[in-house]
């Protein structure tokens, strides 16, 4: 029983931490993009070298690659939290036939009138 509570606490912490990391990585990637654009303008104006522009572009690409990694880890931790809380995870969702979908949406629209 105590192990189950420990798992929930661990995954709650992991979700909080990885969510903050994902947000920070996204902000870094955005800032890298802004810096790359600034370097490109500097190159066009003659105040930055091609090497500076390429270095900044490389850093931007690396930051944009890292950002989804943190987001993916945050989602994995959220799934593990749901599992630790006793929730299930089913890999398949039954498809809805187009007629059933129209009927369901139509019924909702009728109730809104």
CB 61 within 8 A of CB 27: no
pLDDT digits (tens, 9 = 90+) for 56-100: 999 999 999 998 999 899 989 888 888 888 876 565 555 555 665
pLDDT at 87: 75
- Residue 110 is predicted with a pLDDT of 45
- Mean predicted confidence (pLDDT) in 45-59: 94
Highest mean pLDDT among 2-16, 20-34, 80-94: 20-34
CA within 13 Å, CB half, 8: 10
Give the residue from 69, 64, 75 showing the smallest Cα distance to 15: 75
Q: Are 10 and 78 in contact (CB under 8 A)?
A: no
> Residue 44 pLDDT > 70, yes or no?
yes
- State the pTM of this model: 0.65
């Amino acid at each position: 029983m105590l192990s189950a509570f420990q798992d929930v606490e661990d995954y709650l912490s992991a979700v909080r931490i990885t969510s903050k990391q994902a947000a920070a990585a996204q902000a870094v990637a955005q800032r890298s993009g802004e810096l790359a654009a600034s370097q490109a303008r500097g190159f066009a104006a003659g105040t930055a070298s091609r090497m500076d522009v390429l270095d900044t572009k490389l850093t931007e690409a690396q930051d944009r690659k890292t950002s989804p990694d943190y987001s993916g880890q945050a989602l994995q931790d959220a799934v593990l939290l749901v599992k630790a809380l006793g929730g299930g995870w089913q890999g398949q969702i039954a498809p809805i036939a187009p007629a059933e979908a129209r009927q369901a949406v139509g019924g909702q629209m009728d109730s809104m009138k």
